Structures are given as structure tokens and as C-alpha cells.
Amino acid sequence: MKPYLSKSRLISAHQCAKKLHLEKHHPELGVVSEQTESLFATGNQVGDIAQQAYGAPDSVEVEFNFKTMLAETKLLITANARFPIFEATFRYEGVLVRADVMIPDGDGWHVIEVKASTSIKDYHVLDCAIQDWVLRNSGINVKSMSLAHIDNQFVYQGDGNYEGLLIETDLTDKVRTMERDVLELVAKARDAVTGPVPSVDVGAHCSKPYECQFMDYCWPSEAEFPVMGLGGGKAKLATWVQEGYSDIRDVPSADVTAETQQRIHRVTVSGVPEILPGARKILEAVPYPRYYLDFETVGPAVPIWAGTRPYAAVPFQWSCHVEHENGDLEHAEFLDLSGEAPMRALVEKMIECLGDTGPVLTYTNYEERVINGLIQLFPDLEASLLKIVDRLFDLHPVVKSHYYHPKMLGSWSIKAVLPCIAPHMSYAGLEGINEGTAASDGYLEAINPQTNRDRKRELEQQLLRYCRFDTEAMVEIVRVLGGSL
């Protein structure tokens, strides 16, 4: 019997045959990140919108049930259904696909694959070619095959109407030229599933089109300072791995030519953190009072509030520590879990908190981008917000130019820097929410009407603690680099 292959397994084989083999035989070796899980949830959201866009009063969705979905689809087709069908399921030569949307078109069907992406990728076209091949060989008259994706210029009006959120592109001619590609991919996937572990070197494909869940398994990760900590392109890193180097210190210095990689390599080999002169002088010159600002944002594919676009970073929370010259700290924060649009109240409270003078310290320019987005939402507040933008002081370039610790493993993110520069503080010690994707997902869960009161209270506490920790971290970094070092 031919092995069962889903469309997602074929896409895995397209990325890496070894990935597919491990998914089938050793899924326990994989680590699915919070970001990946969030992507799955986003796909479901967009699928719901597609059903609204293409649905009709008599449309039908085939329930996901391995025991019944093929038979249910066959029943609909043989009964000559002439209404939209969602998730119709077909199998040919062991390959199973579920068509997002099938719309009657004369004596045939218009088939639409729906993606949460904002553009068409090469693997999306392959995805459609797989579906087209299976459906046509299952006796379906596929008159056209299209891909619908998110229009990131769509502005939601807040009325529940998402017409225009999806852009549809006809790929019929393109996919009909790809049958040989599909056949070769099916053969490759069958070998990967039925045979021994394929021998595939690590490389750039490990993160394209998706970050592989088996990165820790395939890349050397048990070394004290894994080669991946050199950063840069995965192709070059993979070359060092293929040459047998697992630790940064193993790589010959003559092979490291990129400036940042040379610095990482030099400091790691020495084992001594690098603290370059100049940071103290720069930070001591920052006047008081100092306002340390951090936002948490949500960027759903399907906008929630009027005036927002897909994937736009919409702030729902901020934390601000105010440091005075005598060392005293004050803290202010904003978080609204009512489910109503939080942006207006958030920005007004922020303007009030930050006042008119004093530097506003951030880590990277993310806060500046968020504030510029708020200017687009609230043009009447533009003058006040532009004054805040003029006061922004980005700590990230200062830290990157003057500090590196081997344990940072090539990253100058605040989560990498903090435990090195201030060992008594670590994001890993935060319970529950301890990174940005979890904060976004936690917020969406908290405002969901189906979330019970106790869970909502728990999420509120975690969100407040996490955002506050971000600004506490900046205060500590400035105190250490600008003081004792």
C-alpha cells in the first residue's frame, strides 16, 4: 500500500526530506515554538473569514473526521451539489488534500486555496498544484485554481464586514505546468516516509519556508557555545557545521570574515565579556527624568478594531518606569482587557505619563514604529506624539556597540543581554507569559468572552508583570553600563 501523505507532509518534503521523516517517525524530537502555534491559529482565523466571503445560505463545510470526510465529500459530489463546499476532501495515490473552497462553475468547479500570507510564495503555488493534481485525478472538473491571500492595505471599518480582506489570484495556467514537479515530490516524500532517515545537510532550507521544529536535533546544540551563535546567514553557518565544527571556539579565526562574527568569535574564544569604553559617557549624558517605555502589541491577520489593518502592530499595553536623578523610580502602566478598542485611551494615558520633557528610552526602534502607527490612527494627536518621537533614545545601538558576552550567542536582544549583564534578572524566571508572541496570544485569550474570570485575572497579572519587566530590564542595563562598568 502507498503511504498516506497529506498536503502538509508534501510541503515538508519539499523543504527537507529529513524533516518529513522525523515528523512521521520521531515527532517527539521536534520543538514547536509559540510563534508556530500562533501561525496555526492565524490560519484558522483567515479560514473563517474565507467562509464568510465565499459562503452562501446553502454552503456546506466537510467536518474534519478521518472516518467520514472522504465519504461525505463523495456524497456531495455524486449528488451533483451546486453550492460552495468548504474543506472538501479527496485522496489520490495515497495523497490526501482538503480544498479550502470549492465554488460551482458551470459543469465544473472553481477551487480556491486560502493563505494568511500577504503575498504569494513559491510554495503556495506548489500547494495549489498538489491540490489540482489530486482533484483532477479524483474525477473533479477543476475549471480554475486560485489562491486567496491577505491584502495588508485593507482597512477594517469595524462593522463586521471583511469584504476586500482577501485578494484572489488565478494560478490555473501556472499549476498545470507543474505536474512533473508534483510527481517528483510525491516520490521523494514516499521515500522519506518508508525509507531510512534521509541524509540531508543542514543549511538555509532549515528555516525556509518555515522554521523547522527539528533545528535543535539537526544542528549541533549541545556545545557550550553552538556555532549558530555566530549569527549571519544559515548557509555559511551550515558550511562550518558540515566541516565538523560544533562550538564557536572550534571555528578557525581565519575562516571568520564578517565583522560582527569576528567580534563574537574573538570574545567567545577569550571567554571574557567585552565592555568597550564609551557606553558610560553616552549614558551619563542622558538627562533626567528618564522615561523607560515599552509597548505590547497585537497584530492579527483579521483586524479587530475599526481603522486597523491586517498584521498592523496595534498596542494594547504599555509600561513606563520614570527614573529621577536621585535614583528614585516611579512606575506607570496601561492595560485594557475590556475587549473594546484600547488605542485611544492607551495613547492619551501615555501622553499624560510622559509629560513634555525628558528622554524616552526604548530598546530598538519598535516603539517609534508603534507611535507612528498611532499617529495614523489619531491625527488629532499628531503634534503630541511627534514630540514624543523627538525625545526617543534607543538603547540597542549603545549596547550593541559597547557590550558583548559569550553567553549572548550572537544576539543583542534584551532577553539575551539582560541575564548576562544582570544575572539576578531573567525572562526565563517569569511564570506564564515571558515573550512577545505569548503576550499577544495571552491578550487575545483574555479579551475573548469565553475566557472565564479566573483565567482572565491570571492573564492580566502575567501581562502586567511581563511588560513591567521589560522596562525594569532597561533601567538595569542603563545602571550597569552607565555606572559600575
Q: What's the whole-number average pLDDT of the chain? A: 95
Find the mean pLDDT for residues 385-392.
98
pTM: 0.91
What are the phi and psi torsion angles at 158 (to 5°)? Answer: 85, 15
Higher pLDDT pick, 337 / 221: 337
Over residues 244-268, mean pLDDT: 96
pLDDT in tens, 51-82: 999 987 889 999 999 999 999 999 999 999 99
Q: What is the mean pLDDT of residues 328-337?
A: 97
CA distance readout (Å), 195 to 10, 11, 255, 270, 430: 15, 18, 37, 45, 43
**Residue pair 363/442 in contact by the 8 Å Cβ criterion:** no
pLDDT of 200 above 60: yes
Residues 290-326: pLDDT tens digits?
Answer: 999 999 999 999 999 999 999 999 999 999 999 999 9
- pLDDT digit string, tens, across residues 436-485: 999 999 999 999 999 999 999 999 999 999 999 999 999 999 999 987 44
Output the CA torsion sign for 222, 225, 231, 234.
negative
Which of the pair, 165 or 40, is modelled with greater confidence? 165
Instruction: Name which of 129-143, 169-183, 186-200, 210-224 the model is least confident about.
Output: 210-224
pLDDT at residue 131 above 90?
Answer: yes
- Rounded to the nearest 5 percent, the helix, strand and coil shares of the chain are 50, 15, 35
212-250: pLDDT as tens digits: 999 999 998 889 999 999 999 888 999 999 999 999 999
Q: CA-CA-CA-CA torsion for 158, 161, 167, 171, nearest 10 degrees?
A: 150
Q: What is the pLDDT of residue 55?
A: 87
The 3 state secondary structure assigned to 187-218 is: HHHHHHHHCCCCCCCCCHHHHCCCCCCCHHHH
416 to 88, 397, 398: CA distances (angstroms): 46, 15, 15
pLDDT for 1: 64
Q: C-alpha distances in angstroms, 58 versus 12, 100, 103?
A: 35, 16, 12
Distance of CA 468 to the CA centre of its chain: 23
Predicted confidence at residue 485, as pLDDT, reads 42
- The three cell numbers locating residue 399: 549596547
